Amino acid sequence: MALLAQIMQSSFAKPRPTLRIIPVRTRAHMGGTRQLNLQSFILTPNELSIALTKNVPTKISTAPRVIPLCAAWFLPNDPQGRTGQRVFEQRRIPTARFFDLDAVKDHASPYPHMLPSAETFAKAMQDIGIRKDDEVVVYDTQELGIFSAPRVAWTLQVFGHPGVHLLNNFRLWVEQGYPTESGKFEPVVEEPSHYPTPALDAARVVAFSEMKEIASDHGKEGSEGVQVLDARSKGRWAGTDPEPRPGLPSGHIPGSISVPVSELLDPHTGALLPGEELRRLFESKGVDSERPIISSCGTGVTAAVVDAALGEAGFGQPEARRLYDGSWTEWAQRVSEADGLIRKKI
């Protein structure tokens, strides 16, 4: 009970780069100078298009900008050998920047995508030319639909960037005929940047020690407060399908609920489902909107899709939703079935 009370209290607390793009093909934006404030976290292609049209950046302007941020990322064992950088250069939203998930992380950690230090994060934002007052709209690949962009958006949020949004999604942007461009991406440093070193909002992040305490208490009297939602496939959660990383056992954290990320997305567009559909899905799985929620997955990437879906559904209080950063890759390397901390459901 003391742990639950602690969770409830803590949760509810150089040169500036500009970009020289060598376009291969593009469709021009319409003109316009009136600024537009973006209110929603989830944006449609039309909403982003209007925002870009009304916030055309100039070299002399210091006004806040609307910056599309490509978060393209593919699994290391992608059968087609695709990389985020490569698909970004093949097709992107005009004026977009690229956020490299494999570069902006804790390189000292043995786990794939742990949050970077505040200094690493600030340096990355400087390197891609984003200012603190920019409205950043993160988007995914046309190929995968919603996948890694929510993780990048979540990263910006936990480091306190005030204007963060998620495009739902780039596949629809392309299919609906909005402009794209392609070509090499060449950052050019011209003047000092002023992106400050931020503070991490630790209340939104769950570390291994706390996760282990929650899992160890599962089934004990008074331990019913925290819910863990697992974004991996049902087979991996159940322990019947292998993990994509060699040597890593499958299974699940005791008490966790299987919420495969594929169930949160439209099967044709790869976009997040409408909020009401997401709400019904969470309710059908027995998720209680009145209790704290921790999202988990394989490496902490698609757990953020679950978190974004909870937000779009208006499910639970934002301050009661957190993400287990190390997720299954950390968990399965630090506990065992013999401990009773890896469960399988045949």
Residues tagged active-site: 297
- Three-state secondary structure call for residue 343: strand
Task: From 170, 182, 179, select the one nearest 143 (Cα to Cα).
Answer: 170
- Three-state secondary structure call for residue 154: helix
58 Cβ neighbours under 8 A, 6+ residues apart: none
Q: CA-to-CA distance for 11 and 316, rounded, in angstroms? A: 12
Q: CA-to-CA distance for 131 and 194, rounded, in angstroms? A: 7
11 DSSP 8-state letter: H
Burial of 77 (0-12, 13-18, 19+ CB in 10 A): exposed
- Three-state secondary structure call for residue 146: coil
Helix axis angle, 303-312 to 149-158, nearest 10°: 80
Looking at 132-180, which runs of residues are DSSP E strands? 135-139, 164-167
